[in-house]
Amino acid sequence: MANQLLQHYIKLTEFLGQALGPDYEVALHDLTDKNRSIIAIANNHVSGREVGAPLTNVALQILMDKSYEKQDYRLHYRGVSVGGKKLRSSTLFIKSNGKLVGMLCINFDDSRFQSVSRNILQLCHPDAFVEELYQTHNAPEGSPTSLPQVTTESFHNSIDAVAGDAVDRELARLGVTADRLTPDERIQIIASLEAGGIFLLKGAVKDVADAMHCSQASVYRYLSQIKKDEG
């Protein structure tokens, strides 16, 4: 059962979806069940999720870093849909007496507009100009023209997909494969996943263990060691 306060946002979710149009997904999360947090969603073709989908990696990170305590919303960060589309995302933090109880998220798919913009520029300028413009807009991280580095939000319908994606990101960061991990690399990955909030999801230990090709007991042992070292 959704939090009483969130009941008022269910119709708002539907309204915003209709008012903003098909390129805007609007998703309402109830944080009392992180594994099945989405209780209402409009234009869900944008991310490919359904009612009952879990929290995203960015939402879990927000719970861990408690940034919602100093902010009422987060605007214009990057997301990627199940199908690989790049999205522009914003989240409103829904609070009750200072406690975070829900999130209202808007995910904008601007691919149609990017295509129109590119076609218009090609009518006016040589292709080389257009390519240069887009290369500058999508410059590599760390270059003078790049946007500030932020976590990209990934959207999934299941816990195992959220956990698998989180592990894959860490493997890519370390440049290794799951079957070649050393104990030190495993603990690095577990520590990063713990900081990112993945273990707030029930069943995530099993899914992380599967993705890392190790036992659940090993994951619990690494988590215990991390907490001991932090203490």
- Higher local confidence (pLDDT), 80 or 141: 80
- Per-residue pLDDT reduced to its tens digit, 69-113: 999 999 999 999 888 888 999 999 999 999 999 999 999 998 877
- Per-residue pLDDT reduced to its tens digit, 31-56: 999 999 999 999 999 999 999 999 99
DSSP letter at 179 equals G
> Given this model, what pLDDT does residue 128 score?
60
| Angle at alpha carbon of residue 34, lines to 29 and 39, rounded to 5° | 35
- Each domain of the chain, given as residue ranges in start order, spans 4-108, 158-230
DSSP letter at 148 equals P
Q: Are strands 86-96 and 99-108 parallel, antiparallel or unpaired?
A: antiparallel
Answer whether 82's CB lies under 8 Å from 49's CB. Answer: yes
Confidence of residue 183 (pLDDT cuts 50, 70, 90): very high
Whether 146 has a pLDDT exceeding 50, the answer reads no
> Among 190, 195, 203, which residue's Cα sits nearest to residue 162?
203
Whether 148 has a pLDDT exceeding 60, the answer reads no
Give the HSE-up count for residue 205: Cα atoms under 13 Å, Cβ half-sphere: 11
CATH architecture of 4-108: 2-Layer Sandwich (3.30)
Confidence of residue 3 (pLDDT cuts 50, 70, 90): confident
